[in-house]
Amino acid sequence: MQTLRSVRVLGTGMYVPPDVYTNKDLEKMMDTTDEWIVQRSGIRERRFAKPGIGVSDLAAEAAQHAMAAAGVQAKDIDAIIFATLSPDYYFPGSGVFLQQLLGCGQIPAFDLRNQCSGFLYGLSTAKAFISSGQYDRILLVGAECHSRAINLTTAGRDVAVLFGDGAGAVVLGPSTDAKRGILSVHLHSDGAHKDALKLEYPSMRQWPAITHQMIEDGKHFPFMDGRHVFKHAVTRMPEVVHEALAHHQLQADDVALYVFHQANLRINESVLKHLAQPMSKTHNNIERFGNCSAASIPMVLDECARAGRMQAGDLVCMASFGAGFTWGSALLRW
């Protein structure tokens, strides 16, 4: 029987566009207040990319940092997995944009559309490819250009104040130390809640896919039942962390660092409370970048890696929850 290889993160990177939009800036665009946004979400500012910049441009910057940290070059990458819900084009996917931008060979490149859980779904996919021996070096990116599809007026304020643009990337490869690497990834979905958080139009279920009237009604912007999402997030995230820990007969106390999706600071505080863990065991950047969906986890991971938050062998636990609903957790020995 073939022996599966351990898979580890060889390098991390992140990039955010330079233009900062504070809550005060949003106050000028819609009926909202800095106080409302901070109290509800913890967000103080976010970045929006300039028109003409696509999600693959942000991803390419993050990827360059991750490849430099891993000590590899574009020619060394065997496959690209691109997690995003805000691709450059409807098709082809942003994976091929990134392949071209980086100057990789004619390697496989594909998009993975699982919203805020996209990075963890990508991690699981990359782990399977590498552990089986199919590929040696995979570039996994999570990147979003949310600013393109949010309604920055009072009509869209419930969603618009939460999201930002950014990219995070990791290079993954086989681990020479069997004790270090990704221990497991646990993934879930429940389509019963697909309409609680969605961007429906243009819809390929409809003919025409979008009308002038739909645009006038703002149907091309995301819809979110915020309370419904919040309620499920604070239940599912601790549940899936416990699932991962139980699988390895580990305890919440054994984890050195929790890396959570950045949807809402209150969600992450609640998850740690459920786990009876102190806030010092996590790192949040939502205050500075807002919710960057698929990019959030790799962005937090990169900030932690560069700040030296993880020592070799430390147990790191990641968890996410997002549209679909989809959710998941990953445990790794750094």
Catalytic residues: 116, 261, 291
Residues 140 and 119: beta-carbon distance below 8 Å: yes
Give me the 186-215 binding string for ligand ACO, x by CB under 6 A, dash otherwise: -----------x------------------
Residues 167 and 59: beta-carbon distance below 8 Å: yes
Beta bridge partners of 184: 331
Q: Is 229 in the site for ligand ACO (CB under 6 A)?
A: yes
Beta bridge partners of 181: 333
Rounded to whole angstroms, how far apart are CA atoms 52 and 302?
26
Q: Is 268 in the site for ligand ACO (CB under 6 A)?
A: no
CB of 307 to ligand ACO, least distance (A): 25
Q: What is the CA angle 252-298-285, rounded to 5?
A: 80
Which residue of 6, 12, 23, 115 would you call a contact of ligand ACO, by CB under 6 A? 115
Rounded to whole angstroms, how far apart are CA atoms 289 and 285?
6
Which residue of 25, 32, 73, 188 would you call a contact of ligand ACO, by CB under 6 A? 32
Which residue of 19, 27, 76, 158 would you call a contact of ligand ACO, by CB under 6 A? 158
Q: Is 293 in the site for ligand ACO (CB under 6 A)?
A: yes
| Near ligand ACO in 297-326, by CB under 6 A | 322-323
Q: Is 130 in the site for ligand ACO (CB under 6 A)?
A: no
> In this structure, which amino acid lies at residue 156?
G
Rounded to whole angstroms, how far apart are CA atoms 8 and 226?
35
Q: List the structure tokens of 206.
A: 């409809």
Which residue of 5, 157, 180, 333 would you call a contact of ligand ACO, by CB under 6 A? 157
> In this structure, which amino acid lies at residue 291?
N
CB of 283 to ligand ACO, least distance (A): 18
CB of 167 to ligand ACO, least distance (A): 16
CB of 245 to ligand ACO, least distance (A): 23
Q: Is 265 in the site for ligand ACO (CB under 6 A)?
A: no
Residue with tokens 């393109």: 148
Residues 297 and 168: beta-carbon distance below 8 Å: yes
CB of 277 to ligand ACO, least distance (A): 20
Nearer to ligand ACO, 8 or 157 (CB): 157
Q: Is 252 helix (H, G, I), strand (E, B) or coil?
A: helix
Q: List the structure tokens of 151.
A: 């309604």
Which residue of 207, 227, 249, 276 would you call a contact of ligand ACO, by CB under 6 A? 227
Give me the 231-250 binding string for ligand ACO, x by CB under 6 A, dash otherwise: --x-----------------
> In this structure, which amino acid lies at residue 295?
A
CB of 225 to ligand ACO, least distance (A): 8
Q: Which residues contact 302 (CB under 8 A, 6 or more apart)?
A: 12, 13, 14, 62, 65, 66, 168, 169
Nearer to ligand ACO, 205 or 227 (CB): 227
165-174 and 181-189 as β-strands: parallel, antiparallel, unpaired? unpaired
Nearer to ligand ACO, 233 or 299 (CB): 233
Rounded to whole angstroms, how far apart are CA atoms 69 and 12?
6
Taking residue 134's Cβ as centre, other Cβ atoms within 10 Å add up to 12
Q: Is 230 in the site for ligand ACO (CB under 6 A)?
A: yes
Which residues of this protein are in contact with ligand ACO, per CB under 6 A? 32, 36, 40-41, 115-116, 157-158, 161, 197, 226-227, 229-230, 233, 263-264, 267, 291, 293, 322-323
